[in-house]
Each structure stands twice: as structure tokens, then as C-alpha cells.
Structure 1
Amino acid sequence: MLSDERTLSRTVPPRGESPAGPARVLLLIGQLGLGGTEKQVALLARGLRTRGIDVRVLVLFEGGAWENDLNAAGVPVVHLGFHRRVAGWRMLPGNLAAFRRFVRHLRRMRPDVLHAFLYHSYVTAAPAARLARVPVLVAGRRSLGDYKQERRALLAAERAATSLTDLLIANAHSVADDTLRHEGVPPRKLTVVYNGLPDSAFAPAVPAAIDTDLPVVLCVANLKRYKGHRYLLDAVARLRPGLPCTLALAGAGPERPALERQADRLGIDVRFLGARTDVARLLARADVVVLPSLHEGMSNAVMEAMAAGLPVVASDVGGTAELIRDRGVLVPPADAGALAAGLERVLTDPAFAARLGERARAWSREHLHVDGMVDQHVRIYGELLERRCAE
């Protein structure tokens, strides 16, 4: 595993030394809906703007919930007009025209840095940035690459894009290690910056209304198969007699009908809350937060639960252990029995649950604050620009 010091020393100068920072940064992402990466892009954009950097967010496909937030913060959002395909992304004639517009936009804006997030963005950004002679190109790695291992075309496009990219920024050491292991990226081309939490994540919130007298087990995750909700429902059904709870699922997605049928069959109290923007209020109402993911990068839901001082029970995948080891309960993925045991331990031992929450909150305040995340990006951008100027 790459240590913080060894990783960041390749890109971040020592404190006290301030390389000339970028004047203009463009952040590129597919869309701005309610997702963890989308939230981090919005937080980074707002933080860069408060530091006097001209920042804009470019979207390939469509806007979303975070667009209004960015506009209110004075960060322009530029729609590039690419078209998404259900069966996989292809450069259709319309997308070729959008690509040409993208290159022209880069030439007109003349950014110091183009930072692309998620697969479609950085495979599109790499050739466009080089055609437009953008000085620094950075790609954000936010998840493990399991889904690409049997898809050679995706891997080939990604490796070609990486060869044109100055630096990859992973949001967890597990993501960085996965990239090194499977893609052969030189260590000098990879660094780690954790996601950030705003001050509001640590502030008290008015509890949301959930009509139950039972302990509330909250899961904040889109209802997609890899999030492992089916194992969570089985785990709740396995809780020993006399330990009922209300399971609150915040999130939308294609798995909802199957999960509703499963909940009915198991006879457990599950509340399907849909997509929510009041996560802080849900956390204030919850007794424990659970994340049963089968694959994960660096979970914003876990981070937000930690900041709220809640105990977390989560599957040991991706960067989750980096967040909650010794500060939460880790269980094997896809193991309903282990998940049930973890929930039982927290629900039956209030003192233990309180200790976990206190440790998690203290650690997250020290290591996950948004100001640190933004400062690291500014230093990285500055050093990359200095290196480019020296070439």
C-alpha cells in the first residue's frame, strides 16, 4: 500500500513552499446528479473559487442536482452536448461534433489544468486536452477497476488515455493499489487525496421524520446490485428475536422492485425513502449506518456518518477499511450472517456504539475536512504546472 507521505511527496511540495497555483481550472464530469463523485466535484469547484481560481465545471451528458448549487456559488456549468448510449458509450456522429466543440472550448478558455472525473470523462479529456495544448491534464480515479477486467475495449481506451495524462489522483489507497496492480501505471504518475467533508457535515441537524419506535438502521446508497442491499435485508431478517429495527433505505435505482418483494417475503420493516437531499437530517434520526457494498471506492455515505458521530457497520471493500478500521465494524462482503452479527453488536451495546461514533467523528474532522482536500489539489496543480514550465 502507498503511504500518505510516500505518495503525496511526488506531487505535493512541503508546507511552507507554495508553487505558483493555476489561474484557471476546468473540471470535467459526465453529469451532476446525486452521486458521491458529483458531490466531490462540486465541493472542489467551490473550494477552488474561494481561493481565487477561475473554475468551471464541464458536463459531457447532462446536468443534475448539483448544478444549481454550483451556479449559486458562482461556478459556471458548461454543457458539452455529448449523447449517452444505453449499451455503452460510442463516438456517434453527434458525439464527434460535441468532441470538436469541446476542443474549441478548451482552446478558447486556455485552462492551466483540466481535471476529468470518472471513465467517460477522462477517456474523452485526454485526446481533447492534447489537441488543445492544455498544459496539465489530471484524471480522478474513484473506484476499483473490477468492472473493466473482462472488457478489453474499455481497458485499451483507458490505458491510451492514461498515457496522455500527467497524473492520476485516487481517492483511496485501495483504489491506487488496484490501479498499480491491474494497469501497470508507474507509481510516479499516481497519488492519493481523500474525499472532503464540508463544515455542514459536522454540524447538528434536525432529525428527519421516520415514524417508528424501533432503532433506525440507515443505508444511504443508490439501489444498484453492487451496493449489496439484498444481503442487508437478509441480515435484518436474521437479527435475533427481540431485536427488531426499522431499516431505512435512502436512494433510488433499478433494484427497488426486487428489494420491495424481498422485504415483503421476509416480513421486515423496510422504508424505501427514495433519492434524498436531506442526508444530514436522516443521519440525525439514525441509530446506526450500514453499507453492505460488494465494491466501493471511498464512500461519501460512510464519511458523512462518521462526521455525524454515528457507528458504522460496513463490508470490507475498497477504501472503507481506510475510513473505519478501529472506528467502526467491518464485515466480509456478501455475508448476511456476518452483517447481522455486526448490527447486533452495535444495537445491543450502546457504550460500544458511542465509542465508535466518537472515534469516527474525531478522525474524520482531522483527516477528511474539505479545506484539506482542496489545498492538496491546489498544491498538486501548482507543482505539475511548474514541472511543465521547466520542460
Structure 2
Amino acid sequence: MSVVPPVAGRAPQLHVVQLLGGGSAGTGAHVRSLAAGLDARGVRVTVCASQYAERRYDFGGTGARFIPLPVRAQADAVRTLRAICCDADLVHAHGMRAGLVAALALRRRSVPLVVTWHARPADRGVRERLRRLTERWVARAASVVLGATSDLVARARRRGARDARLAPVALPAQRAARSQENEPHKVRAELGVVDRPLLVAEQGHDMLLAAARGWRWLDPQPLLVMAGEGPQRPVWQRRIEREGLPVRLLDRAQDVRRLLPVADVALAAPRWEARPELAQEALRGGVPLVATAVGGVPELVGDAAVLIPYGEVAALTAAVRTLLADPDQRAALTLAGRARARSWPTEDTTVAQVLSVYDELSGTR
């Protein structure tokens, strides 16, 4: 990310507390990006998160002060944050758990609270009702709710947010490994896909495995490589072996994304997602993308990907077959994807948008 000189005239120095209560890898990367960008603009930043998040994202390496936050005991987290916020001008919480902790810590205090809603929950039953109550509490406690997608903004407004705004989250572009940039044929040979298509995927395993049954009879037969981390891996592996599916599981999602430079088609089939990292990297790299039309995906990709309904296995199977048989369509999607990616907000514009909200709120204290 480019370094922007501190803005003249901002005195005294603004102190912002960034609170991360868990969340996805994309949320952690976003907080790190904000911390670095705000520090470059002369803002004093304190990041409160778990020790695990600090090891993974190195918030302290951005110039921010890092303070560990208890992740399991909510009361301890509230007390810790309350002490940290004694001299804070503003608190920015990321995710619902962080928003609740911040709302409790700032009760009867005049410190503005910004909460970014990154994801939509998939809770059901009692957990869904509790989640709805939490959302209502957090939405009403926040000075401003920033939604990563339009439907999250609408959800915050339904929960009573006094001010909810769209604020897409820009993630850092991932750089391909040198071996994949310079020796793509070697990478494909190691995977056994020199003369067959390579499909890469990260989410929606049940739907993807069901679709893979329809790709077994293609000639040449494509290989689907997808992330296999988590407790469901043994279940997926048994299904692959039992049904003879042309699928290989890798240990981590990052390993799958590193294969994008040598992939023929990328697949993103989440039930709901704001801005899937795989989809972003696919379009940036010019890899044709098939994705489920859920959450913020249509806003993200526009006409630069093939969109299908979630759960429609036949539509996924047909979309991949069509793309593999039509090099002209793949070439068109390559060009459209790169053009679409250039239209997305950058890390710099994301930081600038967030800072404008901070200035607006801190100026009204």
C-alpha cells in the first residue's frame, strides 16, 4: 500500500482504537490495512485483538500499538477495552462480537463508536433470536454502522441503526509465488494437469462435490482442487474416494489461492459472503470465475463472472462445462475481470473513506 503523508492541520493527534473480536481472515487483513494506512496519515492507532490475531497479522508492525484482548471471557474483554479507551477519540469495532464488547465498554461515555458489519450470520433457532437481539443492541449503540455490502447496510437499518453506510472492504492483492509466476508448467505438472483443465475452489464443498460428479465424463477430465481444512475433511475425502470424484483437497485456503495463476477456472460457491477473497484474486488475475449470486458477490463482480443461484448444482455443472468448451468466453471473462478489479476501491481509498467518517464524528464531540 502506498504511504500517504500525514494530513496537515490535524491537531491534536487523533487516537483511534481498532477492535477485532474474531472474524474471518479478510476481517483481520482489513484491520491491518486500516492500521497501516491510518498510521501513515498521522493517526495514533491502538489495535485490540487476540494474541493469535497479532501473530498472524502483526498489527504492531504497522506502527500501531497492540494490546491483547481476552477472547473467551466477555466481561474481561469489556473491562480491558474500557481501560484502553480512557484517552481514545473513537472506537472502531469489526464484527458483531467486537461491536457488543465496544458498546458495553462505552456505556455512559461520549466516545463515538463505528462498527463495521462484515458478514451475515447463518444462525438458526435460539441462536438466531439471540443474534437478532445483539444486532439490534449494536446497531443502536453505534454512531455509524459501515456495511461491507448493500444488504448488510439494509440489515443494520432494519435493526435500528441511526446512520448506516456502504463501505466495501478492500483487501491487499496477493502476490503469486515466484514458482507459479515463472514456472507455471512445472506447477501444473506437479498437480498432474498438464493436459487437463485445473479448477480451483474454496467454499461450498457439498455443492462443488455434487457438481464434480458431472465433470467425471468430460474429456479431458478436469481436476478440482479445493481447500480441505476443518473437521469436515474426513467426510469430504471419503465421499471423493467413494464416488471416484476428480477432486483433490489441500490443507489450507491460502494454498488454493496460490494456484490461481495457473488455474483455468475459479469457483466460489458460498451460501453467503460479502467479498470472497478467492473471487477478488481471480478477477485481479484474469482467471474466469463462476460464483454463486449471494451476499455482496453480484456487487463485487458485476458482469465479469458467471453467476449462478446457490444450491443449483446443475447450473454449476453446466457453467463449468460451457466455459471449458469455449475459449473465447474465457478470454472475454479474463479481460472483463481485470477491468472490474481496477474499478474496486483500493486500500488507500478505503482508508480515506473511513478516516472521513472518523473526522466527521470526532469533530462533533
- Match for 1:96 among 59, 66, 75? 75
1:255 and 1:211 map into 2 onto residues whose CA distance is: 23
Q: Does 1:317 align with 2:306?
A: no
**1:252/1:65 Cα in 2 relative to 1: closer, same or farther (>3 Å)?**
farther
Q: Deviations over 1:317-356 (max 9, x none)?
A: 1001112231000011011111111111222212211211
Q: Does 1:384 align with 2:365?
A: no
**Corresponding residue for 1:338?**
315
User: What are the residue-to-residue correspondences of 1:21-100 with 2, within 5 Å?
Assistant: 23-31=14-22, 35-59=25-49, 61-64=50-53, 67-83=56-72, 95-100=74-79
Percentage identity across paired residues of the two chains: 28
- Match for 1:234 among 210, 213, 216? 210
User: What are the residue-to-residue correspondences of 1:112-191 with 2, within 5 Å?
Assistant: 112-131=89-108, 133=109, 135-147=111-123, 151-181=128-158, 183-186=159-162, 189-191=163-165
2:56 and 2:276 map into 1 onto residues whose CA distance is: 21
Uncovered stretches (5+) of structure 2, i.e. residues with no partner: 1-6
**Corresponding residue for 2:199?**
217
1:269 and 1:245 map into 2 onto residues whose CA distance is: 7
Q: Deviations over 1:227-255 (max 9, x none)?
A: 42111011122125324111111352222
Q: Decide whether the 8 Å contact of 1:219 with 1:290 is kept in 2.
A: yes
SS in 1 for 2:100: helix
**1:206/1:238 Cα in 2 relative to 1: closer, same or farther (>3 Å)?**
same
SS in 2 for 1:271: strand
Deviation at residue 165 of structure 1 after TM alignment: 0.8
Deviation at residue 190 of structure 1 after TM alignment: 0.5
Deviation at residue 216 of structure 1 after TM alignment: 1.4
Deviation at residue 212 of structure 1 after TM alignment: 1.6
Deviation at residue 158 of structure 1 after TM alignment: 2.5
- Match for 1:356 among 327, 330, 333? 333
Deviation at residue 96 of structure 1 after TM alignment: 2.4
Q: Does 1:270 align with 2:240?
A: no
1:76 and 1:129 map into 2 onto residues whose CA distance is: 20
Deviation at residue 172 of structure 1 after TM alignment: 1.2
**1:77/1:275 Cα in 2 relative to 1: closer, same or farther (>3 Å)?**
farther
TM-score w.r.t. the length of structure 1 is: 0.80
**1:205/1:169 Cα in 2 relative to 1: closer, same or farther (>3 Å)?**
farther
- Equivalent pairs counted in the alignment come to 347
Deviation at residue 365 of structure 1 after TM alignment: 1.8
TM-score w.r.t. the length of structure 2 is: 0.86
2:333 and 2:251 map into 1 onto residues whose CA distance is: 28
Q: Decide whether the 8 Å contact of 1:142 with 1:298 is kept in 2.
A: no
Please tell me the residue identity of whatever aligns with 1:25. V
Uncovered stretches (5+) of structure 1, i.e. residues with no partner: 1-16, 84-93, 221-226
Deviation at residue 267 of structure 1 after TM alignment: 0.8
- Match for 2:167 among 167, 187, 193? 193
